Structure 1
């Protein structure tokens, strides 16, 4: 149970979850795995529209946290006397069951998810923030997922980063279009990452192929490429190549490493925008031990 923004959210697992889970993974069918109750902390009434905003926040927020689409399905609204006064049979996007989490949240610890919801639910109640945030999280879920071609994940992750750059520099910092366009994409990305203390160097132990690619290519000042510029060059080669793509395909894993870095940057920027501080799984690496987490750099 967690209380946030005047709402009490109670989530409980079905008692036979351990028995049904292996079958869900084997057969790839769908089933209800949890039950949830949403109410006002003061016991007051609320509208279906306000409940739907909370459900949307939980749909995208939990999916972003787990790295796969999960959905609150078939909600039913009750009046004070117990009568059913609202229900919704809409089908919401949901992925088949997977045993491991590919998202930023380590499910062994519920506390980080609660802190994340503290920022997410109020943001979805704010019309000025909710639409941009929903799009950024949708980009991130697709970028985090291990489904589809890796090139698609790089491109969608880069699109999410571009959206984040525009919001932070133009919408929030007040840059006009001329000032925004005066910087290359990698410089804009570097700027917003440095603003929230996210390192822009490339960790060669996590991203060896991209680190080698960065060392073999030079920036305009003659230095080796950092993370934002290496990622931008790989993305540009995929989207509008002006020369042979041998540089990115001639060495194994360069595109894979670019994908890992894109999802890492986008995840951290979304978490910081919601005021989240605390543990997260480092998505710049392909795998990690269960329970292995890092502190957000701005913490």
Structure 2
């Protein structure tokens, strides 16, 4: 690809770095693995090479099947995402925050490492996005934020983005079974925000009852799926993305299966 200004004016290699970083993070976020611009060069007015980057940016081996939310033949969705990221990266402070969130999202989406490890990374990513959404935006003071339990903060964020909290028993059968058992045995009604934070707390703060999690075969894996689903959607919503999305909460899905992000559908319904 070629990088140029819309008015055709020149720019320096340093000025191009935020764009290259946005491409690196955007492609990686979309594919669910690390993908980087390779061997960029800077050309002068006479097409002479004035700058080259031979350093290796973080990049995974190529593979035909990937774990990301992007459908690879939907070029419009990728264009929209990258456009949003390039715009966001014009503010260095915001760029640093969104790059951190994207790093968490890529790390939790990749199918590598222990599932418990991915849940921890995803929880850290959710914490980062929630802090930005509520505290850095001025919606809450740090004291107000810290006074609320994690499941209430997550639920508030998901509801504000019109992201469903219900557990689909077809795609997440183990979590649906766990929620039913908790309701039957303890009278607790648990939605997605409850389950994601409850399982994470059981893994991090064992009290002897952590076997409750492993008693339901597949519940830990499904918690990972739901965690990466929530984190990815909250990042996309914060960027103002309105395109198609392949659900990361489903362990098994058809290739190319996608739908509009939930807030886009909600806005369309409100407008009508």
Tell me if TM exceeds 0.5.
yes
1:173-188 equivalent positions in 2, closer than 5 A: 173-188=138-153
Q: Kindly indicate which of the two structures has a greater share of residues assigned to strand.
A: 1
TM-score with structure 2 setting the length: 0.93
User: Which of 242, 263, 267 is the matching residue for 1:298?
Assistant: 263
1:46 aligns with 2:11: yes
Whole-angstrom distance in 1 between the partners of 2:100 and 2:125: 8
Q: Give the C-alpha shift of residue 222 in structure 1.
A: 4.0
The residue number in structure 1 matching 2:50 is: 85
TM-score with structure 1 setting the length: 0.85
Q: Give the C-alpha shift of residue 150 in structure 1.
A: 0.7
Whole-angstrom distance in 1 between the partners of 2:183 and 2:128: 27
Q: Give the C-alpha shift of residue 241 in structure 1.
A: 1.3
Q: What count of residue pairs does the alignment treat as equivalent?
A: 263
Q: Where does structure 1 lack aligned partners over 5 or more consecutive residues?
A: 1-35
Q: Give the C-alpha shift of residue 223 in structure 1.
A: 3.6
- How big is the alpha-carbon RMSD for the aligned residues of Structure 1 and Structure 2? 1.5
Whole-angstrom distance in 1 between the partners of 2:214 and 2:257: 31
The residue number in structure 2 matching 1:118 is: 83
Q: Matched residue of 1:135: which SS?
A: helix
Whole-angstrom distance in 1 between the partners of 2:189 and 2:205: 22
1:75-154 equivalent positions in 2, closer than 5 A: 75-154=40-119
The residue number in structure 2 matching 1:169 is: 134
The residue number in structure 1 matching 2:198 is: 233
1:182-201: CA deviation from partner (whole Å, max 9, x where unpaired): 21000000001101110111
Q: Kindly indicate which of the two structures has a greater share of residues assigned to helix.
A: 2
Q: Give the C-alpha shift of residue 129 in structure 1.
A: 0.8
The runs of at least 4 consecutive aligned structure 1 residues that moved more than 3 Å come to none
Whole-angstrom distance in 2 between the partners of 1:216 and 1:169: 33
Q: Matched residue of 1:298: which SS?
A: helix
Whole-angstrom distance in 1 between the partners of 2:138 and 2:203: 30
Confirm or deny: 8 A CA contact 2:177 2:216 kept in the other structure.
Answer: no
Q: Give the C-alpha shift of residue 202 in structure 1.
A: 1.0
Higher relative contact order (CA 8 A, sep 6+): 2
1:26-56: CA deviation from partner (whole Å, max 9, x where unpaired): xxxxxxxxxx221112211011112111111
Q: Give the C-alpha shift of residue 118 in structure 1.
A: 2.0
Q: Matched residue of 2:46: which SS?
A: coil
Confirm or deny: 8 A CA contact 1:74 1:88 kept in the other structure.
Answer: yes
Whole-angstrom distance in 1 between the partners of 2:80 and 2:252: 24
1:272 aligns with 2:249: no
Confirm or deny: 8 A CA contact 2:29 2:68 kept in the other structure.
Answer: yes
Q: Give the C-alpha shift of residue 218 in structure 1.
A: 4.8
1:213 aligns with 2:178: yes
Q: Give the C-alpha shift of residue 94 in structure 1.
A: 0.7
